Amino acid sequence: MQVRRSGPYVALSLKHSLRVFQPHRELKSHAFLLIALAACAQQRPVVLPPVQMAAIDTSLNAGAPHAVFETQRDDPFATTNRIDWPGPNRYRSSAGVPGPDYWQQRADYTISASLDTGTTELAGSVQITYTNNSPDTLRYVWVQADQNLYRTGSKGSALFPADSRWGVRGFQGGYTFSDVRVNGTSVQPRINDTMMRLDLPTPLLPRGGKATIAIKYSFRVPEHGSDRMGRDSSLYEMAQWYPRMAVYDDVRGWNTDPYLGQGEFYLEYGDFDYSVTVPAGYVVAGSGVLQNPEEVLTAEQRRRLASAAKNSAVIPVITQAEAAAAKIQRVAGTKTWRFRARNVHDVAWAGAPDFRWDATSWNGILMQSYYQFPKSGKAWEQAAEQTQWTIRQYSELFFQYPYPQATSVAGPVGGMEYPMFVMVGYGSDDPASIFGTVNHEHGHEWFPMIVGSNERRYAWMDEGINTYLNAFANEARYPGQSAYPGYLRNWATAVASGTQSPLMTAPDDIDPSALGAIGYRKPALVLLTLRNHVVGAEFFDRAFRDYIRAWAFKHPTPGDFFRSIENGTGEDLSWFWRSFFYTTDVLDIGIDNVAMQSSEGQNFVKISLHRLTSVPFPVHFRVAYADGTTEDFSLPVNIWARGNRFDAVVAARAKVTGVRLWPDPSVPDWNPANDTWGNPPPAKAPGPVTR
């Protein structure tokens, strides 16, 4: 009861903070918590009791059902996800940057694996040097065993139908672990679905203690690996292919959310040395830099690659004729490809005997595409250029790409991102058939590869923010197009079908049919709205770049993002996060009435505004005067602090003949029918939203 009265932010902070207390710092944290709660309570704008939704039309399209506004679905407490916006502390500062005592763990990997294409089995060994930078002594660690999703009876196989995108399609696989050691001592792994607990023979000391974890493992490669890995005849796309350290952080301790299918990953940064042994005729593409080109490439291939590394034009490293010849050639034996990747949280790779391979470069970064032709579609002949263009765009707009290469591979996986390496589905002859996915997947190099958020908890922090970036790239690639209508339509579909959940919902708990809306397009659209109509591009762009810089190669939480944007833009945006991230409500502000007034010879117009949902918003309106001119006005969000009605009284230079809310039409007001009065002035023509 008390929780309800004190309001969601306070209550959730409390709920969260209690769970993450470490006994030895509990007293200190308590003090911080109380300060945070007090500050939180004072700064929060007054929030109105919810309006009766059933009485009004909030649908974008007439006739849409109102079921989505049922009380329970609107209530973030009713969902199973927890909301992590704790009070600031020494680890995460109140300004949304890492605090003076920020720490994160480190995991360095050496992996050697071999692929048997006859049995479709991968067998390998991994050695993980795990560094405990936390202030805590660890007596056990958790390791991710993602292949166990394909074990009969896994949680994910129960949750997602076998024939769905994340479903296992009847395949029976999973990890076999044959030898697990910590610091050379054999340990018994304890498996909990896709997570594995290893009890350490000796405690791992805080602030720099190291443990070496060595695991021998094997698994059968699923044909359909939840659209994140898999194989198609001779082509293998390999990811989640070695046991990976779970993240231990200051927010939740061990992050042990299982891999269910729809939720993605949360991993520690480190350096990787990995080698894969494949049939001798195979060509392997992977994260990182190839370490032994003289052992696996011909002299001519190495010469072409060296030339591409200095050239902005696309150079074939393996031509179509060479790929076609390789397809029918049988080569006995195996070859081992060695790669090294620094400062990444994962590595993935792909292999096939008949790849075409194109390469080009920009700014010292090698861009590569690998595809089986003609199966991939002619579009793939543009993939190296599309990769180069994408990496350059995001580098110039947001943050310089920090890695030496970027690779796109064509295959059965529709679209999936790994450090320096993305998988994109086959295309048609039209270059546009793959551009959106090439661009989107490489956008992930910034979120979550550079900015390492917890994807398994917050789709909006990687997919949503990435989709925000994609709007900039798409509008630049196709001038005159707007990202806005498509994003809005997708969100509106989820609203109309009643499948919405708050953006804070963990991805595995989002209705699969609404994943595109809730994970991707609504967050992208509300961030565009925040930038363009609340804080302004100049402030937002600066704050957003600061957020990337502050959290590059680190683990930000939602609260860190919110604080970072508020600090950088100088705005209290509690109302914005609350409305668009913690509820499923939509914006609907309308005009009830317009009246002329005069006082001491000055004419005024009184515009009676009505907020019909729980979502406040700064109001922009344009008035039309009898003399044919127009004038624009803006009101701050504070007008909604005292009620859901507000009379805006502004000086009018002539008789007002019409009024229009949102003269810029890219404000997602759900009900345009109440946005105008009289003979409204025209709105700005729809257009790009990333200028």
CB of 466 to Zn ion, least distance (A): 6
Q: What is the DSSP string of 198-264?
A: EEEEEEE-TTTEEEEEEEEEEEEPPSB-TTSSEEETTEEEE-S-S-EEPPEETTTEE------SSS-
Which is nearer to Zn ion, 462 or 475 (by Cβ)? 462
Q: Would you say 96 or 448 has its CB closer to Zn ion? A: 448
Amino acid at 28: K
Q: Choose between 219 and 460: whose C-beta lies nearer to Zn ion.
A: 460
Count the alpha carbons within 13 Å of 496 in the hemisphere toward its beta carbon.
Answer: 14
Count of residues in the chain? 691
Nearer to Zn ion, 131 or 439 (CB): 439
Q: Least separation, in Å, of the C-beta of 270 and Zn ion? A: 23
Q: Does 108 bind Zn ion (CB under 5 A)?
A: no
Pick 84 or 463: Cβ nearer Zn ion: 463
Q: How far is the CB of 383 from Zn ion (least distance, A)?
A: 17
What is the secondary structure of 125-162 as a DSSP string?
A: EEEEEEEE-SSS-EEEEEEE-GGGGGSTT-HHHHHS-T
Would you tell me how many other CB atoms lie within 10 Å of the CB of residue 482? 18
Q: What is the 8-class DSSP label of residue 603?
A: E
Residue 62: which of 491, 496, 484 has the closest Cα? Answer: 496
Q: Whole-angstrom Cα distance, residue 658 to residue 626?
A: 9
Question: Which structure tokens are listed for 68?
Answer: 């989505």
Q: Candidates 427-435, 459-467, 569-577, 593-601 — which segment interacts with Zn ion by CB under 5 A?
A: 459-467
Write out the binding residues for Zn ion, residues 138-157 only, by CB under 5 A: none
Distance separating alpha carbons of residues 447 and 547, to the nearest angstrom: 12
Q: Specify the residue, 508 or 566, whose C-beta has the smaller distance to Zn ion.
A: 508
In this chain, which stretch among 23-31, 83-91, 140-148, 462-470 interacts with Zn ion, using CB under 5 A? 462-470
Tell me which residue has tokens 């792994």.
189
Between residues 346 and 463, which has the closer beta carbon with respect to Zn ion? Answer: 463
How many chain residues touch Zn ion (CB under 5 A)?
1
Choose between 418 and 575: whose C-beta lies nearer to Zn ion: 418
266/670 with CB nearer Zn ion:
266
Nearest-approach distance from CB 509 to Zn ion, in angstroms: 18
414 vs 672 by CB, closer to Zn ion: 414
Q: How far is CA 612 from CA 68, 499, 589, 602, 671, in A?
A: 15, 21, 6, 32, 10
- Rounded to an integer, what distance in angstroms lies between the CA atom of residue 241 and that of residue 612? 51
For CA atoms 242, 451, 494, 475, the dihedral sign is negative
Q: What is the layout of strands, in order, in the sheet containing 190-192?
A: 190-192, 195-204, 138-144, 244-245
Choose the stretch contacting Zn ion; rule: CB under 5 A; options: 14-22, 391-399, 460-468, 544-552: 460-468
Nearer to Zn ion, 460 or 575 (CB): 460
CB of 427 to Zn ion, least distance (A): 17
Q: Of the listed pieces 62-70, 226-234, 456-464, 648-656, which binds Zn ion according to CB under 5 A?
A: 456-464
Provide, rounded to whole angstroms, the least separation between the CB of residue 459 and Zn ion.
9
Stretch of residues binding Zn ion (CB under 5 A), selected from 135-143, 420-428, 455-463, 633-641:
455-463
Q: CB nearest Zn ion: which residue?
A: 463
CB of 444 to Zn ion, least distance (A): 6
Q: How far apart are CA 495 and CA 588, in angstroms?
A: 14
Amino acid symbol at 636: P
Out of 146, 463, 560, 585, the only residue in the binding site for Zn ion (CB under 5 A) is 463
Closest by CA to 470, choosing from 486, 457, 452, is 486
Write each residue from 414 to 453 as x if it is in contact with Zn ion (CB under 5 A), else as -, in one continuous string.
----------------------------------------
| Minimum gap (Å) between residue 531 Cβ and Zn ion | 20
Q: How far is the CB of 467 from Zn ion (least distance, A)?
A: 8
Minimum gap (Å) between residue 440 Cβ and Zn ion = 6
Minimum CB–partner distance for residue 380 and Zn ion (Å) = 20
| Residues in contact with Zn ion by the rule CB under 5 A | 463
